[in-house]
Amino acid sequence: MSQAGVLRAPSDNRLALWYSDGWTVTKRNLIKIKRSPDMLVFAVIQPIMFVLLFSQVYAGAIQVQGTDYVQFLMAGIFAQTVVFGSTFSGGAMAQDLKTGIIDRFRSLPMSSSAVLIGRTNSDLVLNTISMIIMMGTGFVVGWRVNSSPPEFIGGVALLLLFSYAFSWVMALLGMTVNSPEVINNASFIILFPLTFVSNAFVPSETLPTPLRIFAEWNPVSSLVQAARELFGNVGTAPVPDVWTMQNPVLTVLIGIVVMLVVFVPLCIRKFASISSR
């Protein structure tokens, strides 16, 4: 019995140290946001502008069968917000590499993965704050939740889990590019097709055939459709007869698992490679 306890202790100790290191780096990143509130301000201004632009300027020209356009729009804005919010991981990693802070972390007796854990955790907090502000803005322009409290909580959780998984993708991109300036251009090349060639702002069936097919299999479209269903904003509009659109919640959950399984090890391996230089 005593021997078993001795054997388990190092593992438990390593886990405790890993958690402590990750939480320390998370706090470090959150303190940076507190000391630079403009980071948070600009993170929420863009989606608020999109809400006002589409709901007040374009709503009269965009008709969606079976539902009010504001109800249709908000899930797309939420998805766009959390996806764009995930880019902070990439930009921050690129900036830390440029300023040499990674070298300082390397000299400390800490888990190398703690830097990545702290980075993605802090972005999850930032996305949560953005979501709260966005929902408040949505209520102001007429958006309403027409589902049960558990479904509403499930929709919010799904959006945030997707953002957390996607932040690992962007963290890898941030460690791959040569400078923080490049990450902005590189991320927009990825994010603009994902968010705009989707069902976020217009029904996918209104798009030309090649773009419609892309939109129906676009993971962001599945995220948007899942959020609409969980928030009760689908209305009577027909759902495309595609597996990803017929099973959006399951599709998003599969995507989250795949992103975490693939990109977490890749990020840790890439960070270890950079730290050993």
pLDDT the model gives residue 117: 84
Give the CA count within 13 Å in the CB-facing half-sphere of 128: 11
Inform me whether the pLDDT recorded for 94 exceeds 70. Answer: yes
Residue with tokens 């027409």: 146
Contact yes or no for 261/167 (Cβ under 8 A) = no
pLDDT, tens digit, 9 for 90 and up, residues 220-262? 999 999 999 999 998 777 788 899 999 999 999 999 999 999 9
Least confident of 2-11, 61-70, 165-174, 185-194: 2-11
Give the tokens for residue 77.
């804005």
Contact yes or no for 247/216 (Cβ under 8 A) = no
Alpha-carbon distances, residue 78 vs 27, 74, 112, 220 (angstroms): 25, 6, 32, 11
| Contacts of residue 122, Cβ cutoff 8 Å, sequence gap at least 6 | 26, 29, 30, 33
Ramachandran class of 265: left when φ > 0, alpha when ψ lies in -120 to 50, beta otherwise: alpha
pLDDT the model gives residue 163: 92
Which of the 8 DSSP states describes residue 233?
-
Task: Give the chain's mean pLDDT.
Answer: 82
Contacts of 38-42 with C-beta under 8 Å, sequence gap 24+, read 40/126, 40/129
Q: Does an H or E element contain 257, and which?
A: helix 248-275
Give the tokens for residue 226.
């899942």
Alpha-carbon distances, residue 31 vs 35, 64, 69, 117 (angstroms): 6, 43, 39, 16
Contact yes or no for 120/168 (Cβ under 8 A) = yes
Rounded Cα distance between 156 and 230, Å, is: 9
Q: Give the residue among 262, 227, 234, 240 at the shortest CA–CA distance from 154.
A: 227
Q: Domains of the chain: which residue ranges?
A: 24-60+71-275
Inform me whether the pLDDT recorded for 210 exceeds 70. Answer: yes
Residue with tokens 């299999």: 217
Give the tokens for residue 176.
């791959």
